[in-house]
Structure 1
Amino acid sequence: MTDPAAVADVRSPLSDGEWHRLHPLTPVLRGGLFLVVVLGIVITNLRDRIIGWLFPAVADLERYEADPVDYVVSNNLILLALVAVLAVLLLLLGGFWLSWRFHTLRITGDDVEVRSGILFRTHRRAPLDRVQGVNLTRPMVARLLGAAKLEVVGAGLDSNVKLEYLSTTNAEALRADILRLASGRQLARASDAAGSVPRGRAAVATVSAALTGLIDGAEQPVAEPASVVHIPPGRLIGSRLLSGSTLWLLVVVAAIIVGSVVGTPWVLFTLVPAALGFAAYWFRTITRALRYSIAPTPSGVRITFGLFTTITETLPPGRVHAFEIRQPLLWRGCGWWSIRVNRLSGRSANDAQSQQFADVLPVGTRDDVERVLRLFLPGISAAQWQELVVHGLLGPHDESDPYVTTPRRAWWLRPLSWRRNGVLLTPDAILLRRGLIWRSLVILPLARLQSVALSQGPIGRSQKAATLTGHTVAGQVPGAVGALDRDDAVAVWQQAATAVIAAAASDRSHRWDAAPPADPTPTTIATIDEEEGRA
């Protein structure tokens, strides 16, 4: 067994190795949708009577002749109806109590475990050494009740363990415990203190009182670390209105107008649902990105976003497998960029929440891009950043471009972007540069790459061109660039094979340190501004 004294200083009462119950309101919060549906059915069936109660002067009493309430009153069944309603309420409360009673969690030195179910029991376990991150979600109703839910992100599909619900204070403490234990620092310290004692599952005999200490009252203020990026609401709204969805809306409107002119005028009525659909999409994407913040913490990068439902995720170092810096055409005049990542989220790549978690910077300036990248890649030097910006984001500019690009003979395979299309192998990553209208720079850290592949189709063989692909975990960031010179691509592929092995052997980012990263202050480089001005 792990020495309890060695790890007691890193444990809260909820992570003492014993089984604990969740927040007593968990069944109500989890079954909230069911209750809303039942309430909607009741209101729908009794809407006329409710109107009559509220506005008796306009009530049409003849409508209530077949009403079930009238039937109960006229047959003197009021007492029986009240007993039936009370019985249903008692059954619901009993079911909620049993659901809460059988829903427990345990945090040991090795795993996060959750047991649930009354008739059909479920036992889920997430090994701490496989934790990819911890997400804290506070839906609007749960926030009013001072509750939140934790989601421990595992390393496989559908491997996440959800702890829903906890008080906000306990959720914050439990998240910190999980991340500290997953870092390996505390386990290593306990192993050193125990000497030759075999490492086992930690179980500190500390039992919390008063319903396991999960009822802490209303939500308390949570200390948020200072964000290194601030997105003005005007910039956020403008970025969504200048996104690709706006172009699609213009295309749809043009098609509807043309259809009404050459066809029937009734086509114009489809403008209303189309506009409502796009407005709902814009509203949803804007509210999700409001209250955005990103900051370094001892346990990783902490990202918070959401207006109504607030989501706070903590990405430990070494858990991001790919980065993509993007700039749509309509953003170029404003100098805006966005960053998305590939990470293990425990969800399918097509899942809506997986796409939402991929955006670590919804919209920002070039300085914001540098601040965010330095949180995840703190080892980037000033010279490397200059190369990243001048040749990666804004390039190419001249013959000194270090990227392997599309040869002139194969320009027709990338007619607009063949000069920009390219790949560069650095000591730490593979950089993939694509797009002229929609600029994109993909960063694949060598220590996170699974494999590097070369492929050729019949057209590529005829032009002596090839496609280079860096394989990472599934996500929103594509890891391929095509139409490269075949010989140059083979050289990059051979060098990358050796560099990936060396980087993986020396990588220690999966075990992070207690000290938070340094403040990522952007580097002021005059040559970058000059190159951007020429671009």
Structure 2
Amino acid sequence: MSDPSRPAAPEPSVLPGGGSSSLADGDWHRLHPLTPLFKGGLALLIVAGIVIGNLRDRLIYGFVDLFTPRGTRVEDYSSGDPVDWVLSNNLLVVALLATLAVVAVLSGAFWLVWRFQQFRITDEHVEVRKGIVFRSHRRAPLDRVQGVNLTRPFPARLIGMAKLEVVGAGTDANVPLEYLATARAEAVRSDILRLASGARAAREAARAGAAAGSARAAAPGGAAGAREHFLGNLNQGVSGLIDGVDRADLVPESVVKIPAGRLIGSQVISGVLWFGFFAVLLGVVLAFLLPVALGNDDGDGLVILLGAGLGMGVPLVIATVGITWAQISKSLRYSIAPTPDGVRITYGLLTTVTETLPPGRIFAVEVSQSLLWRPFGWWTIKINRMSGKSAAQQQSGSAQQFNVVLPVGKREDVERVLALILPDMPPQDLPLVWEHGILGPGPDDPYRTIPARAWWRRPVSWRRHGYAVTEFGLLLRRGRVWRKLAVFPLARLQGVSIAQGPIDRLQRVAWGQAHTVVGPISGQIVGLERDDAVALLERVSRGSVQAATHDHSHRWAARA
């Protein structure tokens, strides 16, 4: 319920291009002036500093030999402090001029790069063009937008900058806008999602015959205005760094609050699994070396064995700590909240990431629980979504993080998140998710599972391994040590197939595959009765056509 004491937010004005911000008017705009510095300039300066540091003596000697006045002894400079040598020979002016020349060259190069980077937002596309010698032009159709991610790397947060990434439907289809002032990036994100949902057409129809859109707010002019704008962004960035997640990303309030102790504890427990895996590998290697060590009479074998253990054990411990800390830092300050443009998820300790998932862009949902989490009643939720990245990029840790919508939570947290990301799931399907799915099997199990004669295909979980089909989706239940339940909405299922090999024919079983976008959730199920596999194919094929016919989630603003 809305708070009557709180003043209502003013409705954003509409510009000729259909957007509500000055950057979504259909014209070409430039990115933040400091974009070249954060996109590679920092690395360039670091590399240049290393090179100059290594070649300092040679560079200074050659420079002095060319430009110093007569009477200055170049041989006096060997490898001492260059500042003392410059001051003792009255070359301060020459050194300052050389420094200013280098700064001017770098500033000119950054300015050229910035001038040739532009973007525009129309009622059909988001476009970015850049490059001086090698030009590139990227375009993302608004009706294919799968989401908009807003990332604030730690250095950029200090001066109020953010990176906006429009997620497209295809391999390497993302269109990045890096960088913008944080306030502008949030306004552009809202405009892109609003235009992608069809809200622009509905808004124009509702305001037909009205006066032209309001004039743009004038930006401060001159050098004083630019300085004031930069200082304002810097102040906002420092304040946001202290406060954590931007307040605009928490309106409305997050439906799930994860205590820091639970988050750290869950990742430490997962780190124990990694450590156990590495310890087993180390034990296997040492087992092969043990006979050699025992067969050595002079005692060197034990020294070799001890050295091998330390040489491999220390890096394994460091790797385990590094993986655990990376997962903790990525998941801190987590929040998830509904917005008019979809589900908004924010997380990150130093580098914060805010992603907005519009309705109809989630292709699969999986609730899972490891054996070590079971005493605490903790669960995690992952999704399959269009990432717009290549296969190599999807293997990175940052790409995998976008597929986690709940790092760790209790049952009530899982229910709240499922209600957000699967809002169209009918209430009668909920028992298939919890009582029979996540916690099952129970009495009168409605899932079709592996028959007893094919138990060897899943020796531990063959009683759980199965599927159920409703008018809304396909549910796959798997695992006993690591319990999983996957939900595939039929309206967004890409296809389904069944297959049968020679051994399958002997046992009269088959396996099925639900085809969806690439992600951490697998749609494969094995060892089904042949009749159950055929029923799976028929029911999912028929149900997918009916669900897709009645699905209008991609036009969420028009439906609202």
For the aligned pair, the TM-score class normalised by the smaller chain equals 0.7 to 0.9
Among 406, 427, 430, the alignment partner of 1:361 is 406
Q: Pick from 290, 297, 307: which aligns with 1:266?
A: 307
Tell me: CA distance 1:69–1:402, structure 2 relative to 1, closer, same or farther (3 Å).
Answer: same
Describe the shift of the 1:350–1:112 C-alpha distance in structure 2 as closer, same or farther (beyond 3 A).
Answer: same
Q: Which residue of 2 aligns with 1:406?
A: 450
Q: Secondary structure at the match of 1:318?
A: coil
1:165 alignment partner, SS class: strand
Q: Distance in 2 between matches of 1:459 and 1:34?
A: 60
Q: Distance in 2 between matches of 1:417 and 1:114?
A: 50
Cα distance in 2 for residues equivalent to 1:419 and 1:66 = 76
* 490-499 vs 219-228, which moves further: 219-228
Separation in 2 of the partners of 1:266 and 1:500? 60
Counterpart in the other structure of 2:257: 230
| Unaligned residue ranges in structure 2 (runs of 5+) | 1-12, 58-76, 241-245, 294-304
Q: Does 1:377 align with 2:404?
A: no
Cα displacement string for residues 268-295 of structure 1 (whole angstroms, at most 9, x for unaligned residues): 2221111111111111111011111111
Change (3 A) 1:513 1:333: same
Rg: which structure is higher?
2
Tell me the SS of whatever aligns to 1:301. Answer: strand
2:202, 2:558 within 8 Å by CA — same for their partners in 1? no
Q: Aligned in 2, Cα 1:217/1:241: closer, same or farther, shift over 3 Å?
A: closer
Is 1:96 matched up with 2:110?
Answer: yes
Q: Which amino acid aligns with 2:487?
A: I
Q: Separation in 2 of the partners of 1:70 and 1:99?
A: 33
SS at match of 1:478: coil
- Matched residue, 2:4: none
Q: Give, in whole Å, the separation in 1 of the partners of 2:379 and 2:510.
A: 29
Measured against aligned partners, the alpha-carbon deviations of 1:13-41 in whole angstroms (never above 9, x if no partner) come to: 11111111111111111122222333344
User: Do 1:317 and 1:510's aligned partners in 2 also have CA atoms closer than 8 Å?
Assistant: yes
Q: Is the partner of 1:218 in helix, strand or coil?
A: helix
Q: What are the residue-to-residue correspondences of 1:107-506 with 2, within 5 Å? A: 107-190=121-204, 209-210=219-220, 216-218=232-234, 220=236, 222=246, 223=248, 224-225=250-251, 226-243=253-270, 244-252=273-281, 254-255=283-284, 258=287, 261-262=290-291, 263=293, 264-269=305-310, 270-347=312-389, 348=391, 349-398=394-443, 400-506=444-550
Q: Aligned residue for 1:55?
A: none
Per mean C-alpha deviation after superposition, the further-off stretch among 377-386 and 492-501 is 377-386
Give 1:381 shift. 4.2
3-state DSSP class of the match of 1:217?
A: helix
Q: Following TM superposition, where does structure 1 have runs of at least 4 consecutive aligned residues deviating by more than 6 angstroms?
A: 4-9, 44-47, 74-77, 192-195, 202-205, 211-214
Amino acid at match of 1:391: H
Bigger shift: residues 183-192 or 146-155: 183-192
For residue 524 of structure 1, what is the aligned residue in structure 2?
none
Determine which structure has greater relative contact order: mean sequence separation of CA pairs < 8 Å that are 6+ residues apart, divided by chain length. Answer: 1
| C-alpha displacement of 1:121 | 2.1
Shift in alpha-carbon separation, 1:109–1:438, aligned structure 2, 3 A: same
Note if 1:36 corresponds to 2:32: no
**Amino acid in structure 1 at the alignment position of 2:82:** V
**AA partner of residue 322 (structure 2):** A
Aligned position for 1:50? none
* 8 A contact 1:14–1:208 mirrored in 2: no
**Aligned-residue CA RMSD in angstroms?**
2.9
User: Distance between the aligned counterparts of 2:264 and 2:144, measured in 1?
Assistant: 37
Q: How much has 1:246 moved relative to structure 2?
A: 3.5
Task: Please state how far the C-alpha of 1:353 moved relative to its aligned partner.
Answer: 2.3
TM-score between the two structures when normalised by the length of structure 2: 0.81
What residue identity is the alignment partner of 1:362?
P
- Partners in 2 of 1:382 and 1:256 — Cα distance? 53
Q: Do 2:282 and 2:309's aligned partners in 1 also have CA atoms closer than 8 Å?
A: no
Return the alpha-carbon distance in structure 1 between the equivalents of residues 322 and 376 of structure 2. 25
Q: SS where residue 519 of structure 2 aligns?
A: coil
Contact 1:6 1:190 in 2 (8 A): no
Question: How far, CA to CA, are the matches of 1:191 and 1:236 in structure 2?
Answer: 47
Q: TM-score, normalised by structure 1?
A: 0.85
Q: Is the contact made by 1:466 and 1:484 (CA closer than 8 Å) also made in structure 2?
A: yes
Task: State whether structure 2 residue 29 is matched by structure 1 residue 20.
Answer: yes
The structure-2 alpha-carbon separation of the partners of 1:394 and 1:231, relative to structure 1 and needing over 3 Å to count, comes to: same
Task: String of CA shifts for 1:228-276, please: whole Å, max 9, x gaps.
Answer: 1111121112211222424313424544665675542211222111111
Give the CA deviation at 1:383.
3.6
> Residues 364 and 106 (structure 1 numbering): CA distance in 2 closer, same or farther, change over 3 Å?
same
Q: CA deviation at 1:480?
A: 0.9
Q: Would the alpha carbon gap of residues 6 and 26 (structure 1) be closer, same or farther in structure 2, given more than 3 Å must change?
A: closer
Matched residues, number: 490
CA contact under 8 A between 2:147 and 2:166: conserved in structure 1?
yes
